[in-house]
Amino acid sequence: MRILLIGYGKMGHTIERLALAKGHEIVGALTVEDADQLATYTADQVDVAIEFTSPVAAVGNILTCFEKKIPVVVGTTGWLEHLSMVEEKCQQLQGTLFYASNFSVGVNLFFHFNEYVAQKMQHYPEYQVQVKEIHHVHKLDQPSGTAISIADGILKHYPQKQGWKNEVSQEQDVLSVVSKREGEVVGTHIVQYTSENDTFELHHIAHSREGFASGALLAAEWLPGRQGIYGMTDLLQL
């Protein structure tokens, strides 16, 4: 499979190494300096693109891939305020997008069980629920896309809550999402239910970027030949 890497930071390098080990071809690896070269690639040259850049660049890269009929796997977070426009453009241009806030198989199982637990725990108002996330100091967005996905999963089952705030809040109709940036932490996410009597937690700790990279590569292998917008629930059949 011919893969174009859009973004060539730590994640891009890890994906490249795993892809080459599986016999795939890297037809290009675009950095910030040569990002304008994306428009020179065509579907005849590229089977799938994998995009890990920045929230500012992601939407433009996605739309260019749609225009070029190149299926694109996107791991960049922090751009979802533009999602409705991207969905509209995807339909208009018959594009193909695979988006995930986190490509780790373990994290996506975490999402699944998070919703199951929230569905049960919302019947016990004595427990206060909170989301915590810790990432490395280089991460640009906060809360993380993963934490937002976790919060959204909880809010589905807590109709009395009006949304989330990225701070510690005592408001009963708000879900607190607490973010920390420390050292080189790959990614830690915690859902905490606390009562006067005890604390119950769901906990996920990423040990390396390889889990994210291998999941993104798995998505890239699965995506060609499809049209529309997909995510990890489609890939893992959750």
- Is the pLDDT assigned to residue 31 strictly greater than 90? yes
pLDDT confidence tier of residue 140, bands split at 50, 70 and 90: confident
CATH class in words for 105-206? alpha beta
* N- to C-terminal Cα separation, the chain: 26
Domain ranges of the chain: 2-99+210-236, 105-206
Strand 128-135 relative to strand 187-194: parallel, antiparallel, unpaired?
antiparallel
Measured CA to CA, the distance from residue 75 to residue 114 in angstroms comes to 21
pLDDT over 90 at 145, yes or no: no
The rounded percent of the chain whose pLDDT value lies above 90 is 86
Question: Residue 160 pLDDT > 80, yes or no?
Answer: yes
Query: Residue 238 has what pLDDT?
Result: 77
Encode pLDDT of 204-228 as tens digits. 999 988 988 999 999 999 999 999 9
Q: What is the band of 203 on the pLDDT scale with cuts at 50, 70, 90?
A: very high
Q: Which pLDDT tens digit goes with each residue over 37-78?
A: 999 999 999 999 999 999 999 999 999 999 999 999 999 988
The two beta strands, 187-194 and 174-181, are unpaired
Active site (annotated) includes residue 135 = yes
**Lowest mean pLDDT: which of 80-84, 96-100, 125-129, 139-143?**
139-143
Give residue 237's pLDDT. 87
3-state class (DSSP) for residue 148: helix
Q: At 32, is the pLDDT very low, low, confident or very high (cuts 50, 70, 90)?
A: confident
Structure tokens given for 29: 């690896």
Among residues 112, 139, 161, 165, which one is catalytic? 139
Catalytic site residue from 135, 157, 189, 204 = 135
What does pLDDT average to over the chain? 94
Model confidence band, residue 175 (pLDDT cutoffs 50, 70, 90): very high
- Whole-angstrom Cα distance, residue 106 to residue 52? 20
Closest residue by Cα to residue 73 from 104, 55, 101, 51: 51
Res 102: pLDDT: 85
User: What is 2-99+210-236's CATH number?
Assistant: 3.40.50.720
- Select from 209, 202, 167 the least CA-distant residue to 185: 209
| pTM of structure | 0.78
> Is-catalytic flag, 139?
yes
